[in-house]
Structure 1
Amino acid sequence: MASSAEPANQQQEKSSVRSASQTETRQVKQQRKWFEVTLDSIGDGVITIDVDGKVTMLNPVAEALTGWKNSDASGQPLEKVFRIVNEDTRAAVENPALGAIKDGVTYGLANHTLLIAKDGKEISIDDSGAPIKSGGELLGAVLVFRDITERRRNEQARALLAGIVDSSEDAIISKSLMGIITSWNHSAEQMFGYTPEEAIGKSIIMIIPPELREEEKMILGRLRQGERIEHFETIRVGKTGKRINISLTVSPVRNSQGEIIGASKIARDITQRVQAEKELNRLLTSERAARERAEAASRAKDEFVAMISHEIRSPLNAILGWSQMLRQGALDKTATANALESIERNARAQAQLVSDLLDVSRVITGKLRINSRPVDIMNSLESALESVHLAAEAKQITIDVEREPYATVVTGDADRLQQVLWNLLSNAVKFTPRQGHVSVKIARTNSYLEVAVSDSGIGIPEDFLPYVFDRFTQADTTSARKHAGLGLGLSIARHIVELHGGTIAAESAGEGKGTTFRITLPVRALRPPEVESPQPIVPIDTIANEIMLNGLRIMLVDDEDETRELLKMMLSSHGAEVLAASSGTEALAQIDECQPGVIVSDIGMPVMDGYMFMKRVRALDSEQRSVPAIALTAYARAEDRLRALAAGFQMHVPKPVEASELVMVIASLLRRI
């Protein structure tokens, strides 16, 4: 019985083992199925290999990326199915799955890797490899990789854009809708002085001047509405406080849903352009002002020509008219006296007109000179009062004088100061109506002497007062004006006063309210006793006419024919023997033979000027090198005089020169007086 039961037990055990094995097989198949479904459903490519590096499986994603079917790839070397190179160098790179088998560790994601597919297509991938172990036994490795072509393309685009932004000469800045800076390129750093670390995360207000902060509110408001702001010219401020003129373009930045999340700003430095525009505007304004001045000068010239024509013709008419009447002998004694008085009066007016024109010419050319010496201003005033006395009496105008008892002596030219006072007094009489009043007050103020000439006349309009001392300027320049004149006297007076180190000013409360002219002159330092009465001055012409230059041989050097002839006649009339030369070269050739007692030479001559001529004379190897010499020239500046003396001349006489002056200079140089 026992023997018959044993087979039954064995049979039952075998059945149990068979059942368990079948159950385990089903579970393994089910797990494998789940594994295959999982591999098929994941988005990454998966390749498994055995310990020999032979492919055992490709999931569908791996098949699509490599171009290999699972059936074709099985048993193939991994390097053949999965061929990878470096994206930048194109060099082969180590396969991470093979590295995992070799080292028994997981290899992380590789960067910049290209997969070369079966058809040669290149795909940017990220890949990693890990060993497959069971109970410590290495069975193979798994390779996981994914297609990152789109990501790499975006990265490259971003890198390209970043390179463009960073290399742009314009400052490119991005910010949020709250005005917080989110990016800051290199040009922004160069323009504003802040590094990206200093700027990013800060408010854009940091570069906006306080007075322009409202602009940011306006810009953000327009951005929220989706507007683009182009070429908005404004001012920003750098880290150092430097203000920068910029042209600003602001564009809204949107997210993937189209929502506006910030702004991109492009700022171009236009400081140089703005400065150039300002300079251009300044030049245009200057040119416009110059043109207006030129037009005004042209009008003034036309008015001056018309005025001078009138002022010259009017006295000429009286002179010619009365001269013809006198020639006809049709006038009685009284009429003849009136005629002669009229001719003399108008001739003097003509002389004064010519004198004023010459003085203005000297003022313009800088040739108006003063002969400085101690002058009692009271003497000049008395002479001026005497000149206007008859005119004041004719209009029944009273002239009161308030004198300063002491210290009325100044350093100056008596004739020129008398000319100034005469001009002020004659104007006061001219512009004051009949039975009016003129006053003169002389007072000492500190170290200055003030002379005030006031009248009760027609006054000066307020708008004309600043121009009263300008040349050829009168308050009334129309043909209907009541008072004659060229408008030169006050201009000449101002220049003369300034040459004396003084000032002159005009005051008037307006038309019909009179005028006051004030002159200030430095007082000469004197001892308290009164100044001696001046001795009568003998005219220089009288002295010069008595001087004779008999026996004196003069060498005259001048390149102008008419000047040589005139000077030769002037000097010959005083008994001198004159040898004339037209150039320095000609004079040097004749000097030893001529043996002059004095040389009179021009300075401005062609080829060899007067300076060079005199240096050659002083370098002669004869007695003529020490002959006295006078420079006679139109170069009348102080530096011209010093240059002439340095060249070897003993005297410097500016042109134009009168015969009496030249004779006196020669006689003085040769000690004949």
Structure 2
Amino acid sequence: MQSYSRFDLLSGSGEVRARMRSHDWSGSPLGRPETWPSSLRTAVGILLNSSYPMFVAWGPDLNMLFNDAYIPILGNKQADALGMPFATLWSDIWAEIRPLVETALSGESIFADNLLLMMDRNGFPEETYFTFSYSPIHDESGSVAGMFCACTETTRQILGERRQRFQLEVADQLRGLSEPDRIITAASALLGQHLKLTRVVYAELDLSQQALRVDSEWNDGSVDGIAGARFSFAQLGDAMMEGVQRGGPFWVADVETDSRTASQAAAYSRLAARALLAVPLRASARGQSLLVLTQAAPRRWRDDDVALAEDIAERIWSAVERSHAETSRRRAEAALSRQLAAEGDRLRGLFEQAPGFMAVLRGPQHVFELANAAFLRLVNRRKLVGMRIADALPELAPQGFFALLDQVYANGKPFFGHEALLVLQPAPDEPATERFIDFIYQPVLEVDGSVSGIFIEGYDVTDRRLAADAVRDSEERLREGLQAGRMVVWDWDLKSNEVSYSFNAMDVFGHGPADAPPNWGAVHPDDLPVAIAAAQKAIDARDGYESTLRMIRPDNGEVIWVEVRGKVLCDAAGMPLVMRGISIDITERKRAEEALRTADRRKDEFLAMLAHELRNPLAPISTAAELLKLAQVSEPRIARTSEIISRQVEHMTSLIDDLLDVSRVTRGLVTLEKDIVLLDQVIANTVEQVRPLVESRRHQLTVDIAPDIPPLLGDRTRLVQICTNLLNNAAKYTPPGGELLLRARVEDGALALLVRDNGIGIAADLLPQVFDLFTQGERSPDRAQGGLGLGLALVKSLVELHGGSVNAESGGAGRGSDFTVRLPLPALHADPAAMRSDPLSAGQAAPATQLHLMLVDDNVDAANTLAMLLELQGYVVSVAYRAQDALDRAANGAPGIFLLDIGLPDMDGYQLAKRLREQPATSDAVLIALTGYGQEQDRRRSEQAGFDYHLVKPVEIDRLSTLLAQLSQTARAE
């Protein structure tokens, strides 16, 4: 995979950025991103940082680059779209947009508003609308090299406006119809023509016969009629019938590929129903009705299509119900007229007690003659009888109710209102209230047929309307949430072993109930036993179920990760009845976690190799500098050169050590070797290490250590490292001639170490991040002593390992900085004189005399310079550049000590060490590893291979000399 760590264009978050980083650009006409011209990089940078849908088409083939917001527009094309030629990607609409593209490539920008495009991006041609602009992009030579597009899909808006116009048309067409058959026929024809359908069927469900009867139909003339036909539920499939009987819409984009209808595909094909949408009408006393929309070709049903079908179904139901209600009302009116004289009092009582509101208006001025209790409650018990409705309820004037009354009074035809909005306001200073009502304006006819008044009847359906709105809103939110979270909701009936899924199961997981428990067909075979065992355990315990497992999508064979959570529900007897739960696709999260683990492992491997490769050339440089010192050359320049080389080697070694220390600390691989430590020793070692840098920058260092500071319990080497890093940091960020302070006090039972400087200070926005990895202040030209931004991060980690804390303060730019370390002071009673010290860091012992050493290293410069240095110290040194040469020489004259490099060409140092241990002549020899690998696992491996000591390149000459001197004294004593 190509690395873009130095290519800012592709760094950052976002799905397209991730794709572009992982994309194989070697075969692309665009070339690798770091080679792109600045004009292309600028355009791509704009679109990648925009939340507005955009793309760039570049080069002769107009290869595509786009942003995250453009992905939904691509649909199923998005997986392979990156870098694809524009004409290939959008071949289905190329004929329509080609003239626009050519205009842009000629150097002229062009804009399209709500352009109709028949796209095939989801498996079916679909009507889409877009508003967009094409703008030419000029390369560095001034030629048009591509084009830039910002676009908005307006399909939902255009179709929504069309649907509103259509709904108004339907309302107008149905308003003048009263016969149910005419209402159904007209509505079906309008819906079929608007959606360009093959057939619209109005049918009744006969539950006793388990059959569906087609009462009426509309078709586009391309198919035979089926009005009057009957179809058994078995012919239509259980999925469809169960769906509509539950009261919700049921739709299938392609009956042949949808698992719910595939087995009935032949039957549907004979009806020219390749795609279908079934919408149940609200059940009434006469039974359950159904509106079925079909198309001879596959079709992706939009949410708008479903909503429109439901709306038309509701209008048909309302119109039919109004028709039946009108018939019933006429019959009731006739009966009322016949019985009025004899049952006047009884009728009035019933009128008053009716659950629905009722009122009688007389004359063309609509004067209230009667109003029952329910009507009075509706209008806040206002005085009505004897008043014109316009005077009693003046707020209704702009709402259209009075005009409807006039209309009914004039034409003698009743009016039916369904869930009409009624806004009531008893007084101007009172708040208005909104109610939804179903009502009938029924004309009161005299013997001669003239209209003398209007009878009003209705029901307050506000609660029903609000509940329905809440249910629809809740269902929509649930649908959106399940889609966005790639979450599937399921119910597992433990008695029937049947599983029901939410609508998006096929989209998210590519499977339906056939691959669900108890078959478990989609679960990865390696995870199947654990998944079944966990489910059975939850059932047995009547408890919750949680599992993370892999699934193999039945539709495309892709392996995905799924997090499953469920809960067992029991019946009244406590027996497991249902397991209900959710399944979430967590594949992307798993991939991200694996990517992070891989990146972390590669980082560690890279750091180890980097340290090894940097240490190898430092070894001969360091040794050469020591040789210059030992040669006692009188030339001052050579002496100064030797000192410079030594200092720079120490600086490079310190950077490498910090790099590896940070890696080990962040992975939790550093353990402290705690002992009783005197602060004076720590400060002395610290000052010794920072003196060259302090003196080179002419700083004044003040050390202020309070007397009688008790011993610490810690790792002396790491404590020195903490203090050294803080002082080095202060020295580097203080201009020459500055003042540094190292102060130690006991405060509140803890040791407080303060490092203060009067340097450049720390800006307020940088202060919270100074202890983060790779954080540095802005460098000025006079500060050549730069670092990697690791020192303070390492300080913080090491201090916290000791149970302490570190804090940074600064007054701002130019006001210096304070770093305070607080370390716990345990109750210790130790004799400082008895404290341990590192035998290899104590002073150098007397030089050995005539001790035979063998140095094995394939780096000729490193081997020869170290050999010369050791010979000047009085050792007899033989050098081998290959492992086999060392074995041959050792067999003839066995040296007492071997200094072995690990990375040898013919066999590595670990193998050579084992071979030397196996030879009798060298089995007791001292083996010292000299290597660029210095991590803890490298030391353990050298110990397992038989090495006595492990030294890291570039080796500290004093440390090596001390070790050899001690080994020489031991050899003489024996």
TM-score class, shorter-chain normalisation, is 0.3 to 0.5
More contact order relative to length (CA 8 Å, sep ≥ 6)? 1
TM-score scaled to structure 1, two decimals? 0.45
